Amino acid sequence: MIESVLTRRGASVKKKVTIKTLVSVAIIASAVLLPQLVHLTTGAAGGVKWLPMYLPVLLGGCLLGFKWGLLIGILSPVTSFLITSALGSPMPALTRLPYMIVELMVFASVSGLFGGKIIDNKWLAFPAILLAAVLGRAVFLLMTFALESVSPLSFATVWAQVTEGLLGLLLQVVLLPFVVMLLASLMKKN
């Protein structure tokens, strides 16, 4: 969405990169801080239930498109892991980190594929986020199943986590498109 708006306004490449970098940093910071807030208020199980890192990553894909979304999907869990490890409580756990990187890459890149079109058709926010969520979770499950013999994560454990997170994901799939639509309207207007 941001790329489309900036292109229509004749923004230079430097200005586009600067704006997208600033938005990316804000989204990655949100992806680090939001899980911390959820864990403080709901306990350790809150992350699995409400999936707070997914929200900014999905938003980032819609706003910034495929390439920048892919970068956000990679950097969000890595940044969170590095910062929280330095503080003594790594989040996500190291065993979960590679899975989360791949899953969030799918979330952000799939929602990002719709990014440029959402500005012209706000309703595309719904399939963008739904498809990203379904494919991201499916990739997580498939990856766990394929690597179960060499991974500390069992498919049964991951399946339990996925089912526990259904409410959080459902809320994001239902509510986040309205946020994206509002942002699209504001960007188009201004």
Domain ranges of the chain: 2-189
Number of other residues whose CB lies within 10 A of the CB of residue 151: 17
Q: What percent of the chain has pLDDT over 70?
A: 100
Backbone angles phi, psi at 8, to 5 degrees: -60, -30
The verdict on domain 2-189 having CATH code 1.10.1760.20 is yes
Can you give the pTM of this predicted structure? 0.95
Residue 190: pLDDT over 80: no
Q: Which pLDDT tens digit goes with each residue over 5-59? A: 999 999 999 999 999 999 999 999 999 999 999 999 998 889 999 999 999 999 9
pLDDT in tens, 92-145: 999 999 999 999 999 999 999 999 999 999 999 999 999 999 999 999 999 999
| C-alpha–C-alpha distance, residues 21 and 44, integer Å | 31
Count CA atoms within 13 Å of residue 41 on its CB side: 9
- Other residues' Cβ atoms within 10 Å of the Cβ of residue 127: 13
Q: Which two tokens stand for residue 189?
A: 């207007």
The whole-number pLDDT of residue 44 equals 80
Tokens 């929602």 correspond to 111
Contact 105, 73 (CB under 8 A): yes
- What mean pLDDT do residues 150-173 have? 95
